[in-house]
Amino acid sequence: MTKLQEQRFTDSLRNAIASSRMEGLEVSDSMKDMIVTIFRGEQTLEDCMKQFRYTLVTEVSTMVKITDIPKEDRSELAFTKEEITELERAKSMPITFDEDCPETTPERALKFRRVNPVRRTAN
């Protein structure tokens, strides 16, 4: 890769990261490294996606224990008394069907597809 190509790639990557940050997302150093290896032809996108999925499963998706959260933050996570009252009231209300939300039949229910399909995990 020429020096000019390297500079253009670096500028493009920096712009993409800035755009991501503007959307409230953060690009980790390991993600940046993956992008560079794909660009240089050292790894395929598929290999990087496998590595990324593995990282999500093993490192990112850890549960947080409520006791690890400071008390002042825990109170912000809890429902207020008004919210609990509203939820209880809604729970006791009957379901009302209308033209926007008609009652479905068992036959129609079978035709529904999941919006978020179950993904296979690598074992």
pLDDT score at 86: 92
pLDDT score at 53: 74
pLDDT score at 44: 87
Judge whether 89 and 97 are in contact, CB under 8 Å.
no
pLDDT score at 35: 85
Residues lower than pLDDT 50 in the chain:
none
CA distance 106 to 121: 31
CB within 8 Å of 57: residues ≥ 6 apart? 121
pLDDT tens sequence across 95-117: 888 888 888 888 888 887 777 77
Give the residue carrying structure tokens 């068992």.
106
CA distance 97 to 111: 19
